[in-house]
Copies of this chain bind each other. A is one copy, B any other.
Amino acid sequence: MNTLIKRSLVRFTSKSHIFTNQCRSRATKASLLSNQLVDELSGVLGDENVSKAEVIREQHGKDESYHSGQPADVVVFPTSTEDVSLVAQFCNRNNLPIIPFGTGTGLEAGVSAIHGGVCVDLSKMCEIEVNVEDFDCTVQPGVTRIALNTFLRDTGLWFPVDPGADASLCGMCATSASGTNAVRYGTMRENTLNLKVVLADGRIIETAGKGTRTKKSSAGYNLTNLFVGSEGTLGLITKATLKLYGIPEAMVSAVCHFPSVQSAVDTTVQVLQCNIPVARIEFLDDVMMDAVNRYSSMDYPVAPSLFLEFHGSESHVQDQAKAVGELCEANGGSSFQWAKDADERNRLWKARHNAFYASLALRPGCKSITTDVCVPMTELPGNIVSTKEDILASGLKGPIVGHVGDGNFHSLLLVDPSSESELQEAKHLADRMARRAIAAGGTCTGEHGIGKGKRHLLKEQFGDVTMDVMGQIKQSLDPKNLMNPGKVL
């Protein structure tokens, strides 16, 4: 029998709509939306779910990246898929851009309202439905990764995809997020079973079929994976059915330090070539280790390091750790620093996940131009080493961290936001990193997406003909180009 757990969460935090009412009167400057149109929206959604307040609009036009934000003309807070559909119909009728907003934790300006319009904050939609014995759940966009895992605590299940930020799960679908556990559990692409999507004209579809939640299907076009990673440019995701996993019997984490970048990355390549199913294998360079030590009060050696985690039965975890330990040693790595109990493990991974903030703290007042690429495994050592050389030559500080088990790494280029020359230098470095990856059979982004920041690189990676094909698909589903315009294409 299937145990169905269904509940509507009260969101723990909601930075977005608490100010809605008190701030509405502060709306100012020129807008695509007349007062009459705003009133029309309020009539549909209720006054409390529509805001023209400047502080709200600005909050919603900006993500966690260095990109300058651009506010929408109005922010709405629908409470159901039907509401979202009404908003889409309204925008379609009035030729207004429509920009979905989950938690604003993206890194390529996906929420920036480049051409104004209506921002749709989906955080009030908080339903969760869990099929315990089927290992699946269906969540609305107000449910974040941590909220889901907290909710699942008593079921013995968890959702492993973990980009670090406590992002909306539907937002993670929209951006094809992944993160530290992807090497073992896959990205959002492999973990999304079905999506409910509102299209540009307000039509509502389920991408895998009505209520379908199977592990596989060969029925019709794979619309699910067309919408995963489409960054709000094809439709608004209002529900996602996701795979869940049993919490492993045993979990052990460890840190290991290496004499060189090459030896740490070589170890990673060998671990994968030996079929060892590591759950996490994260690379941090010396600059990043220094930042982590300072920010999280750790005292690791300032050397290229791997943060590892093993999942499985007690004996299988021992087997894996032993085999990886031998490979580390063979490459000149240190002994493992173990984190066996949950507290130690959490401390270790908290330090890793705070790498972004730790980097910023290296240079107070700086901003980070954070960029990621992904390459085939054998190209990884060369790409990381060359990127480090580039950064060194530029004079900028730029820690490197990577989900190296997937061939995916990030650089966090720290710039003085008032220095145009530093900004240009950092953008130039990021472009070089992407072009080197593309030339090596890689991709200009493994998990951050294209947003508005990487559209020139997308063209280089795909070429004109394939870009035309993406354009044709966009045109067929959004002929007026109203869905998050200025992103991806």
Is A31 close to B, CB under 8 A? no
B378, A488: Cβ atoms under 8 Å?
Answer: no
Is A477 close to B, CB under 8 A? yes
Given contacts A221-B488, A222-B189, A443-B209, contact A215 B134 (CB under 8 A): no
Is A470 close to B, CB under 8 A? yes
Residues on the B chain within 8 Å of A18, using CB: none
* Interface residue from B375, B407, B448, B468 paired with A218 (Cβ < 8 Å): B448
B442, A488: Cβ atoms under 8 Å?
Answer: no
Binds B, one of A140-148, A280-288, A334-342, A458-466: A458-466
* Interface residue from B230, B248, B407 paired with A275 (Cβ < 8 Å): B248
Q: How far is the CA of A378 from the CA of B213 in the complex (A)?
A: 12
Is A8 close to B, CB under 8 A? no
Is A377 close to B, CB under 8 A? yes
Given contacts A214-B442, A222-B225, contact A2 B203 (CB under 8 A): no
CB of A431 to closest CB in B, whole Å: 14
Q: How far is the CA of A462 from the CA of B210 in the complex (A)?
A: 6
Give the nearest-CB partner of A457 in chain B: B219
A216, B446: Cβ atoms under 8 Å?
Answer: yes
> For window 213-235 of chain A, which residues contact chain B by CB distance below 8 Å?
213-223, 225-226, 228-230, 234
CB of A63 to closest CB in B, whole Å: 15
Is A151 close to B, CB under 8 A? no
> For window 252-296 of chain A, which residues contact chain B by CB distance below 8 Å?
269, 272-275, 277
CB of A197 to closest CB in B, whole Å: 9
Q: How far is the CA of A310 from the CA of B163 in the complex (A)?
A: 32
* Interface residue from B182, B472, B473 paired with A216 (Cβ < 8 Å): B182
A213, B441: Cβ atoms under 8 Å?
Answer: yes
A219, B376: Cβ atoms under 8 Å?
Answer: no
Q: How far is the CA of A213 from the CA of B450 in the complex (A)?
A: 18
Residues on the B chain within 8 Å of A416, using CB: none
A221, B230: Cβ atoms under 8 Å?
Answer: yes
Is A43 close to B, CB under 8 A? no
Residues on the B chain within 8 Å of A376, using CB: 2, 131, 134, 136, 213-214
CB of A461 to closest CB in B, whole Å: 4
> For window 448-489 of chain A, which residues contact chain B by CB distance below 8 Å?
448-450, 454, 457-458, 461-463, 465-466, 468-470, 472-477, 488-489
Binds B, one of A53-61, A87-95, A312-320, A359-367: A312-320
> For window 158-180 of chain A, which residues contact chain B by CB distance below 8 Å?
175-178
Q: How far is the CA of A283 from the CA of B474 in the complex (A)?
A: 43
* Interface residue from B133, B216, B245, B488 paired with A269 (Cβ < 8 Å): B133
A469, B213: Cβ atoms under 8 Å?
Answer: no
B133, A377: Cβ atoms under 8 Å?
Answer: yes
Residues on the B chain within 8 Å of A306, using CB: none
A217, B445: Cβ atoms under 8 Å?
Answer: yes
Given contacts A209-B461, A215-B406, A216-B408, contact A221 B190 (CB under 8 A): no
Residues on the B chain within 8 Å of A177, using CB: 218
CB of A201 to closest CB in B, whole Å: 10
Is A246 close to B, CB under 8 A? yes
Q: How far is the CA of A131 from the CA of B378 in the complex (A)?
A: 9
Given contacts A190-B190, A246-B273, contact A216 B466 (CB under 8 A): no
Chain A contacts to B: CB under 8 angstroms = 1-2, 131, 133-136, 175-178, 182, 186-187, 189-190, 199, 203-223, 225-226, 228-230, 234, 245-246, 248-249, 269, 272-275, 277, 313, 315-316, 319, 323, 374-379, 406-408, 438, 441-450, 454, 457-458, 461-463, 465-466, 468-470, 472-477, 488-489
- Nearest 3 pairs of A and B residues by beta carbon: A476-B476, A225-B225, A217-B443
A/B interface sample: 28 pairs, CB < 8 A:
A2-B379, A136-B376, A186-B190, A203-B469, A205-B462, A205-B465, A205-B466, A207-B466, A208-B443, A209-B466, A214-B376, A214-B443, A216-B374, A216-B408, A218-B229, A219-B443, A219-B444, A219-B457, A220-B458, A221-B230, A223-B466, A223-B469, A225-B226, A246-B273, A315-B315, A316-B319, A475-B476, A476-B476
